[in-house]
Structure 1
Amino acid sequence: MKKEELLEQIKLAMKAHDKARVSILRQVNQAVKQVEVDERRDATEADITKAVKKLQKVTAEELDGLRKAGAESHAERIQELSTQADVLSQLLPRQLEGADLEKLADSLIAELGATAKRDMGKVMGALTKATNGNFDKPAAAAYVGSKLS
């Protein structure tokens, strides 16, 4: 997602009076602005994706903690965090998984000439580079591990 698209989504959410979505998009925009100020450069798509992933991780951790606490008094906050997690996942590019992931992993294994378990790091690194980290990592690790002896 480009910065212009992010700003456009903020406008659309404001026009739709979707306060939750506006709040989340503004959090992402603030994280992107922070990168621009700190590093004195324009934010890239990778910066925006990184900011979304970071917010997604924080949200998931807080949501997990509240669910483990199991307190009835946190039901409203759990609902807010669930909504936030849904919105954040919509902002990320689609993750590579299933047959597409296996096909890419097979081609990278062949390309790198990987044969042993010690080559797993090379394959996983190549997968990360090829997909910008947008793949199901546990599934990829299990599949690549099963292919290497």
Structure 2
Amino acid sequence: MLRDTIKTETITAMKAGDKPRVAALRLISAKIKDRDIEERTKSGSGNDDAMVIDVLQKMAKQRRESIQMYEDGGRTELANQEKGELAVIEEFLPQQMSEAETRAAIEAIKAELGADGMKDMGRVMGELKGRHGTQLDMGRASGWVKESLS
């Protein structure tokens, strides 16, 4: 399980004395524990790895946004720290689909669902997330679905 891999990597980084990596891995673990607490109140538990990947994707998105803001503000030291954390987070994410692969998946789903306009965007996005959610940046995919349906 992905959760166990993160724990093992944390221990390895601690033994190696890699403080920035340990800090990033502890952030990941804390976010996963936060999500566990949220999930306790909901009924039923889904796939654990899917939940961990969702947490990691959100963390990666936050880091990318922070990097952009820090670079725009001339805070390169903070941007570099965020880049280091992002690199650690991305190690645990599955390989992301390329733009061409994503567009092909969108077209296949459109054909299957018979989607032909913006009114079908929710159905296409739902199916896309269900099939490829862990391998996609849904924000970018949303733009491509809009483009494809208009």
TM-score tier after normalising by the smaller chain length: 0.7 to 0.9
Q: 1:59 matched to which residue of 2? A: 63
Q: 1:129 matched to which residue of 2? A: 130
Q: Partners in 2 of 1:48 and 1:21 — Cα distance? A: 18
Q: 2:79 matched to which residue of 1? A: 78
Q: Partners in 2 of 1:100 and 1:53 — Cα distance? A: 19
Which amino acid in the other structure matches residue 96 of structure 1?
Answer: M
Which amino acid in the other structure matches residue 99 of structure 2?
Answer: G
Q: Partners in 2 of 1:49 and 1:99 — Cα distance? A: 22
- Partner of 2:124, secondary structure, is helix
Which amino acid in the other structure matches residue 99 of structure 1?
Answer: A
Q: Partners in 1 of 2:120 and 2:46 — Cα distance? A: 36
User: Structure 2: which 5+ residue stretches go unaligned?
Assistant: none
- Partner of 1:122, secondary structure, is helix
Post-superposition shift, 1:23?
0.9
Aligned-pair identity in percent equals 29
After TM superposition, the runs of 4+ consecutive aligned structure 1 residues lying more than 3 A away are 37-43, 136-149
Which amino acid in the other structure matches residue 55 of structure 2?
Answer: A
CA contact (8 A) 1:128 1:134 kept: no
CA contact (8 A) 2:53 2:134 kept: no
**Aligned pair in 2 of structure 1 residues 43, 78: CA closer, same or farther (>3 Å)?**
same
Q: What TM-score, normalized by structure 1, do the two folds share? A: 0.78
Q: 1:7 matched to which residue of 2? A: 7
- Partner of 1:78, secondary structure, is helix
Q: What TM-score, normalized by structure 2, do the two folds share? A: 0.78
RMSD between superposed Cα atoms in Å:
2.7
CA contact (8 A) 2:97 2:136 kept: yes
Deviates more, 1:107-116 or 1:44-53: 44-53
CA contact (8 A) 2:94 2:134 kept: no
User: Structure 1: which 5+ residue stretches go unaligned?
Assistant: none
**Aligned pair in 2 of structure 1 residues 147, 33: CA closer, same or farther (>3 Å)?**
closer
**Aligned pair in 2 of structure 1 residues 99, 8: CA closer, same or farther (>3 Å)?**
same
CA contact (8 A) 2:102 2:141 kept: yes
Q: Partners in 1 of 2:142 and 2:46 — Cα distance? A: 34
